Amino acid sequence: MTQGEFAEAVEKYGDMVFRVAFSSLGRREDAEDVAQEALLKLWRADRSFESEEHTRFWLIRVTVNECRRSARWYKRNVPVEEVPERADTPESRELLDTVMGLPEKLRVAAYLFYYEGYSTREIARLVSAPEATVRSRLSRARERLREILKEEENI
């Protein structure tokens, strides 16, 4: 991978990696640290991927692993007020706050399912957990989010 290709990859996948890290850690500065580590893994790996989807899957898995490493070092709790400033609707803000108020594993599962669109089976592979555990986490997340998302047909 050339430096130019890496810069393109950072541009292309940076937000996704950051969101995964942010959904896990809840703090911007921690998420940026993890995003840096995950993307540098891509740089160091210098490997080819079968497809863009393969690249995304690999990066998410690396990011989840990096989050675990970070979280094991005395994970601080997540003050909701640290969620980045936003200029969109109050409903979106409420949803984001609610998601970030969920326990870490629930919000990661919810993010990967509802934002990234992965199946429970895929999420199980991404987070190294049994599929039944992922379904349980999603169920618990859904229970907390139902009131906010009751208008959404996919919930």
Partner 1 sequence: MKNRAFEEAFSDVRLSDTARERIIDAAIDKAPAWARRRVLRPMRVALAAVLAVSLLTCTALAVSPELRDMLWGDFSDEAQNYSPDESAAQVYDGVEARISSALTDGYIMRLHVEFRDTEGDRLREIYEKNKELHQEFPVMGINVEGPEGASGPMAPYDMSMICAPKIIAFDEETGILTLEFFQQTMNPPEGMNKISLDIPTGFLGTKAVTVEVPAPEGMYLYTDDDGYVTDTARPVETMTSVKIGWRLTAPVETLTVRHAVTGPLEAHVSDIGLTVYAEMGKAPAGWNSDVTVTLSDGTALTFDNGGLAGTMSGGIADRLLTTIEFAAPVDVSEVASVTLGGVEIAFD
- Which amino acid is located at 36 in the chain? Q
Q: Which of 18, 59, 60, 134 binds partner 1 (CB under 8 A)?
A: 18
Q: What is the dihedral of CA 1, 112, 64, 144, to 10 degrees?
A: 160
Question: Which residue, 51 or 62, has its beta carbon nearer to partner 1?
Answer: 62
140 binding partner 1? (CB under 8 A) = yes
32 binding partner 1? (CB under 8 A) = yes
Query: How many CB atoms lie under 10 A from the CB of residue 37?
Result: 18
142 binding partner 1? (CB under 8 A) = no
- Which amino acid is located at 51 in the chain? S
Q: Which of 49, 122, 133, 135 binds partner 1 (CB under 8 A)?
A: 133
Question: Token pair of 79, please?
Answer: 């003050």
Interaction mask 69-108, partner 1, x per CB under 8 A? x-xxxxxxxx----xx-xxxx-xxx-xx--x-x-xxx---
Question: Token pair of 112, please?
Answer: 């990967």
Question: Which residue, 11 or 50, has its beta carbon nearer to partner 1?
Answer: 11
3-class DSSP state of 118: coil
